[in-house]
Structure 1
């Protein structure tokens, strides 16, 4: 299989109950098309990031923006040719954490005053994809054969209990069930253990990176066929789809900032030059 096209779009909204937006996103898509009368080759790669900040006195805005900028600078320097491996991705995430942690230490911040942020990160190189996350922002993959798949597992107390064998209903009955078990910024690198996953695409796919203001209350699981599946078609506007999804999320949730990034990859069988 090979890449036929790569398109992406990001959007964010303050939500209906917050007075400022602590989410940040960053994206960089590069597409190069080489075509002759014998062949057409599409080289596409991209970096996509969503961060949901937290902390007192608008520190969440600072934390999420710092994390995005650190990772953009890191991969600009460390992704010149070969697709980044797990060690390289981990190095970038730990650098972002260390930068935030150093600011917290310098400001002698404590408790809720310590700034921090969640992170979801996606790298694309042709049909190769890497995803990584810290916290409870999410990445979903949508395709016709596989349907909707949540590629991330929330780093929160309830999920940790489930992974330790506790019944899900009991795990989420506890008062601290939605408390983060890790984030970027509050603690040193010893306490940051991102999940990193590599994929090889074999069919058209749409990826959604989002903050929990969008995906809360099973919004994606219950409504992906209406709001996401149609966007697999090249004829469907990602911009109109983004506006529609954020409007729906504001009506469905609306209690938090809402941020989403779409990445649409069209895949085709490799075409031999004699077929042109």
Structure 2
């Protein structure tokens, strides 16, 4: 805490692809004016549309009582205006397997079967939602919990997409995040109520982990009427994970809700010591094990500005650093159009069964293709709208299987797995990075005191009795 001064030191701030990184932390709590003054030095590198949009926003930071809500609203509008120029097409597929286990407690959405039998009315939402759940509580417990959450969430999120599509003005990120959190809490209470009705207590209570991605399309006024802008929201509870994978790098986007993570975040242990604990992988929260008021879903927003693939998976795949050691071979097969997305999903599932066969596995992939880049999906479209295109599965050749699975068993660096290819440093990436930095910085500086007061604490029952890892 109290390291916000890092955001006012240009030498500590670096643009790494689509990410803004801090090379070191500087203690201190600067004013909004100090932040605005630093950002103003970067405007000379911004394109005119960005510079002209940011200047009046930065001017508002000079006042003695700046309206933070108004500043954030304007920053979001500038950011979405830039993202509006990016035309995006998505494709989604998912699958699950029991592995060597007799029962499958994992669940995902959408499966290939659901894609094939979808009604015409469902098609607009199909490439926008992906869900993975990993049940806990044993067969007829975890299996019920994971399937209940998947069914509940996909229905709620499809309704949310319909409601947002009817809006003429974009909703603020905190509103969308609040709606997603509310949907997760509803799903949580469906499972919790079943636990209560069946008299399940303590470790007998069934539950599930969750990772969900939803691509929101919002309408912005433009000179030619209205244009769409796409925002990717990712939410998770437990240790099911989300990765963003491009030909250049693989980034883990989520932090597991487990004992090791809790101890590291609280400052009680260094990472090595926390991960060496016998209960390091025990979950600190899961859907359905308790009331929704004790749940803390993690929700984040991403604006996609590069072609890549979002991977959602249960720990049946992510265990033993399997994603980090295999992603480069996997992404190469897709960008070279060697395999379709459904086949890639099945390849990940097969990899998990071969290398991590001790557990069930669920995988969902959402490919995102920027207009003009046909490396993943040749859409033949110039529209910014999303498509529900699906490709027929193709059988992997022996050479492709060898390329995908490989023989390398050495774990990779867990911080950020990056290939030897130089990251793309386009002006658009720099612009979006600066805008995101400003929004995060202002929200962080202005809201730290509120966060300290209102942040949810770890439920007492979870501090002492962690949920066993599924």
Counterpart of 2:255 in structure 1 is: 153
Confirm whether residue 86 of structure 1 aligns to residue 177 of structure 2: yes
Counterpart of 1:100 in structure 2 is: 191
Counterpart of 1:175 in structure 2 is: 278
Check 1:228–1:254 CA distance in 2 against 1; reply closer, same or farther (3 A cut).
farther
Counterpart of 1:61 in structure 2 is: 143
Confirm whether residue 19 of structure 1 aligns to residue 102 of structure 2: yes
Q: Gaps (5+ residues) in structure 1?
A: 33-42
Relative contact order higher in (CA < 8 Å, ≥ 6 apart)? 1
- Larger strand proportion of the pair: 1
- Larger helix proportion of the pair: 2
Q: Deviations for 1:64-112, whole angstroms, at most 9, x for unmatched residues?
A: 0100111122123333142770110010000011111111111110133
3-state secondary structure, aligned to 1:123 = strand
How far the C-alpha of 1:44 sits from its partner, in A, is: 8.4
TM-score of the pair, normalised by structure 1: 0.86
Question: 1:15 touches 1:254 (CA, 8 Å); kept in 2?
Answer: yes
Q: Gaps (5+ residues) in structure 2?
A: 1-84, 116-121, 166-174, 218-229, 373-380, 384-470
**1:209-224 alignment, distance < 5 Å:** 209-224=312-327
3-state secondary structure, aligned to 2:128 = strand
- TM-align CA RMSD: 2.3
Give the distance between the partners of 2:332 and 2:253, measured in 1 at CA. 16
How far the C-alpha of 1:57 sits from its partner, in A, is: 4.4
Check 1:57–1:212 CA distance in 2 against 1; reply closer, same or farther (3 A cut).
closer
Larger Rg: 2
Check 1:69–1:271 CA distance in 2 against 1; reply closer, same or farther (3 A cut).
closer
Q: Deviations for 1:219-267, whole angstroms, at most 9, x for unmatched residues?
A: 0111110123432455531232223222222121110001101111101
Counterpart of 2:90 in structure 1 is: 6
**1:1-276 alignment, distance < 5 Å:** 1-16=85-100, 18-27=101-110, 46-82=128-164, 85-125=176-216, 127-145=230-248, 147-165=249-267, 166-234=269-337, 236-268=339-371
Provide the aligned length of Structure 1 versus Structure 2: 260
Give the distance between the partners of 1:57 and 1:217, measured in 2 at CA. 24
How far the C-alpha of 1:167 sits from its partner, in A, is: 1.4
TM-score of the pair, normalised by structure 2: 0.52
Give the distance between the partners of 2:263 and 2:178, measured in 1 at CA. 28
